[in-house]
Amino acid sequence: MIRVAVTGAAGRMGKANIEAIQMAEGIELGAAIVEPGSTLLGADAGEVAGVGKLGVAMVGSLADAVADFDVLIDFTAPEVTLKNVEFCAANGKQVVIGTTGLTDEQKAVLQEQSTKTAIVFAPNMSVGVNLCFKLLEVAAKALGNDDYDIEVIEAHHRHKVDSPSGTALRMGEVVADALGRDLNECAVYGREGQTGARPRGEIGFETIRAGDVVGDHTVLFATEGERIEITHKASNRLTFAKGAVRACKWLEGKSTGLFDMQDVLELR
């Protein structure tokens, strides 16, 4: 039985992760971590998540639960995630990371820590989204470099703090890599004013933040006479949580390395 710790356990994704763990076989909730000053310290994690009493009390740090888990699921914030990864690497714990908004420098830290423990890091844990990444690679290579304008459109709930989403950026990276481009050089984030005719080679990003949208992503390939759209829409956070649980199981037996959901789903 794989014992999993969930950090940010009282948040939207934390509760979804606990629910997904309870739905899966061969895996169990070993620990639930909340902020040190939370009023939920000591509360039953299952009752907070709405899945019934589990006998796992909320604690205020990974150190308080170091003996209770084998792998950590982390959907928090970049700075918190890096501290948690450092702790896990020092204590022989594996990590599944769904946190978005990491800088290139922060991603390099994950690469360094992966020499000490096994990590699955993905901007989106959804099986469907990761299938879309593969479809985007195929589409970009087939459509070629010259004729099609490319736009990435994403929508999320009003509380999301990073923009564009990590998933949208990854979609752009997949397309750019397939076309032999550097996304840092060809990305355009929104347009305003007299921008002139669109030049060839751009990959545009448009962001919507509104209401309670869980996550919508569309990549548009458009040319004279036709448009092709590859779209994924998430209607429930459980889709991400189920992917994270799948990643926890996939990590079993792996001691080091930095992986993503393409590895977990054997899409490479």
Residues classed as catalytic: 156, 160
Separation between Cα atoms, residue 147 and residue 221, nearest integer Å: 9
Best CA proximity match to 10, nearest among 252, 41, 30, 20: 41
Sheet holding 71-74, edge to edge: 58-59, 27-33, 2-7, 71-74, 94-97, 118-121, 257-259
Best CA proximity match to 62, nearest among 30, 21, 39: 30
3-state SS assignment for residue 131:
helix
**What b/e readout covers 182-205, taking b as 16+ CB neighbours within 10 angstroms?**
ebeebbeeeeeeeeeeeeeeebbb
Residue 178 token pair: 């397939």
The answer, yes or no, to whether the previous bond of 164 is cis (omega within 30 of 0) is: yes
Best CA proximity match to 166, nearest among 181, 156, 180, 176: 156
Separation between Cα atoms, residue 2 and residue 31, nearest integer Å: 12
State CA 137 to chain mean position distance: 19
